[in-house]
Amino acid sequence: MNKLLICLTGGIASGKTRVSDRFLQWGGAVIDTDVLARQVVQPGTPGLLRLIEHFGPGILTDNGALDRAALKQLIFQDEAARLAVNQILHPLIWAAGLAQSSQSNKQLEMWVIPLFHPGIDQIEFDRVLVVDVDPKIQIQRIMQRDGIDRSMAQAIMGTQLSREDRLQLASDVLVNNGTLEQLDEKAHDLYHMYQHMAVAAG
- 176 and 91 assigned to the same domain: no
- 84 and 139 assigned to the same domain: no
Query: Which of the 8 DSSP states describes residue 59?
Result: G
Range of the domain at 65: 34-105
Each residue's pLDDT expressed in tens, for the chain with a length of 202 residues: 689 999 999 999 999 999 999 999 999 999 999 999 999 999 999 999 999 999 999 999 999 999 998 898 888 788 899 899 999 999 999 999 999 999 999 999 999 998 887 765 568 899 999 999 999 999 999 999 989 999 988 888 887 888 999 999 999 999 999 999 999 999 999 999 999 998 887 6
Residue 11: give its domain's CATH number. Answer: 3.40.50.300
- 99 and 180 assigned to the same domain: no
Give the domain-ending residue among 105, 126, 158.
Answer: 105
Nearest CA to 47 out of 101, 80, 95, 114 is that of 95
Q: How many CB atoms lie within 10 A of CB 150?
A: 11
Structural domains in the chain (count): 2
- 197 and 113 assigned to the same domain: yes
